[in-house]
Each structure stands twice: as structure tokens, then as C-alpha cells.
Amino acid sequence: MKYEGVERRRHPRITGRFVVSYRILEDDDNLDISQTKNICLGGMMLTTNLKLNPGTNIALEIRLPFDPNPIMLIAKVLESHEVTKHLIYDTRLQFLAVDEKHGKIINETVCYYLKKGK
């Protein structure tokens, strides 16, 4: 179902599959690898294998096409919605802080894919 309401996002968002490794910030032993479903300068949605509670802080390492090095970020879980029972969850994240260098890389990626989609 497509959302038909007023757009409230502050940053343009793109649909894209980028490799992400993630873990709950307080737990060093739960590293998992997934991919994004969408991304913008303010956050992303990715597929996780666990239902994560809102407010949980996540350490992320994402690879984007405009930088050969992974970008490391901390994000907060906004919502984790079950897609496949006890197996796959769409998890929405808000970035807590993005430095200028990594913000520029995310923005370049979003702008490129927005232009490519037109």
C-alpha cells in the first residue's frame, strides 16, 4: 500500500540496496549483515533478522558507491515491523549524528539515484 499523505521527511529518500553490517550498540556479539531498503541523510530502512525495540541504539557500517571505505554510524530504532513471521523485519532507523564527510557521501548517493530515476 502506497502512502498518499503529506510528505513530512526533511531529506529526500531513495530506494536502494546497499550492504550494511549492524549490531545492537551495547552488545559486541550480535553482528549481522543485511542490506538497506531505502536511505536518506536522516536515516534508513533495512531488513533485520530480529524485531528491535524502538529507542534501541544500533552501530552501523554501510558501504556506498561514492566511497571505497565503509561509513560508520550510530542510529536509533524508530520501528521494527514483522514481514515474515519470526524471520524478517523491516526496521526504520534514524541517524543520531552524521559528520560532514559522511553526510556529503550519503547526499551524493541520494542525489545520484534521484537523478538516475528521472
Q: What is the mean pLDDT of residues 65-77?
A: 93
Q: According to the model, what pLDDT value does residue 3 have?
A: 45
Residue 6 within any structural domain of the chain: no
Residue 19 lies inside a defined structural domain of this protein: yes
Is residue 63 in some structural domain?
yes
pTM for the predicted model, two decimal places? 0.86
pLDDT at 44: 96
- Residue 4: is its pLDDT beyond 80? no
Kindly tell me if the per-residue pLDDT of 84 is higher than 90.
yes
Q: What pLDDT was estimated at residue 5?
A: 52
User: Do 34 and 75 touch, CB atoms closer than 8 A?
Assistant: no
Rounded distance, CA 65 to CA 75, Å?
20
Whether 7 maps to a domain, the answer reads no
The string of pLDDT tens digits covering residues 16-60 is 999 999 999 988 788 999 999 999 999 999 999 999 999 999 999
φ, ψ of residue 83 to 5 degrees: the values are -105, -50
Alpha-carbon distance of 107 to 66, in angstroms, equals: 10
- Is residue 29 helix, strand or coil? coil
Cα–Cα distance between 43 and 21 in angstroms, integer? 15
Has residue 5 been placed in a domain? no
Domain that holds residue 26: 14-117
Within a domain: 75: yes
| CATH number (domain holding residue 111) | 2.40.10.220
Residue 8 in domain? no
Total domains in the chain come to 1
Confidence of residue 1 (pLDDT cuts 50, 70, 90): very low
Residue 113 pLDDT greater than 80, yes or no:
yes
2 belongs to a structural domain: no
Of 65, 61, 32, which Cα lies nearest the Cα of 48? Answer: 32
Beta strand 43-48 pairing with 57-62: unpaired
DSSP code at position 101: H
> CA angle 87-63-58, nearest 5°?
50
